Amino acid sequence: MDLALPDGRVLGWAEYGDPAGPPVVFLHGTPGSRISRPDDTALAGVRLITVDRPGYGRSTPVRQPTLLGVADDVGTLMSSLRIERFGLIGFSGGAPYAVACGARFPHRLTGVVAAGFTGPYRELRTVRGWQRFQAWALRTVPGLGRRYVTRAAAWYAEDPLKQHRHLLAAGQDPWMRPHEESNREGARQGADGLAGDWLATDIRPWGFGLRDVPCRVLIWAGRHDPGRAVPDAPLIAARMPNAKIRISEDAAHTPSPAHWQAMLTWVTSG
């Protein structure tokens, strides 16, 4: 389904699960689309609403993508559906956007789950040495960051399943039932969505601090996640007023259906 936004853009969205259940917005990983969601076995009794971020699927690309801009789109969609209170889950690259919603309209949220979340490196000071200099250059040299992410994201337009095949070959089953279809749909407009995600999360300022997220937040990570989700979790939680951590010993980056079900139960119980 499509929503016409006030500025003339289109927001693609979809709905799954139980229409009479408590509403939860799910923000897909990077890359992905509104088709990406937890396995249907985890959705019993939940009304799950998913969206395409700008440039993915059916959503109009934006020149200057931001985390808070996506949060505003989510708030507009839920208002159009006459839903005042809802839960929110962001997975992997979608987790920073979920946290942005917690900063933008915490009063509307029954809770936020940030699953597989890599925190803001500038605030956490987790980037050092050459990587820190590179990050500084990408932020401050005019046009450099955009050129860099545009080149880095080009593979997605050419072969949307390249990353998916790599994960499967490495034995990292992503668990997401329609993952291949989601990646293809996400690349409907080329690589704009992927480049936009990297601009919003890694190049541009987030526009808020972790201390600006007062609602209840669950930071979930799999013990065997190959990225920074596990070491970042306590650093993030220490800066949030109302955060807790859940580390699943039997998981890597992507939650299993049982983990999703537990997160959905938590986020709808607030």
The angle, 0 to 180 degrees and rounded to 10, between the axes of the packed helices 162-169 and 179-186 is 150
Segment 39-52, tens digit of pLDDT: 888 999 999 999 99
pLDDT digits (tens, 9 = 90+) for 185-196: 999 999 999 999
Structural domains in the chain (count): 1
State the average pLDDT for the chain: 92
Q: How confident is the model at residue 127 (pLDDT cuts 50, 70, 90)?
A: confident
User: pTM (2 decimals)?
Assistant: 0.94
Q: Note the pLDDT tens digit of each residue in 216-229.
A: 999 999 999 999 99
* pLDDT (tens digit per residue) in 68-84: 999 999 999 999 999 99
Q: Which CATH number belongs to the domain containing residue 55 in this structure?
A: 3.40.50.1820
User: 171, exposed or middle or buried, with CB in 10 Å at 0-12, 13-18, 19+?
Assistant: exposed
User: What residues make up the domain containing 88?
Assistant: 2-268
In DSSP terms, 220 is beta-bridged to 115, 246
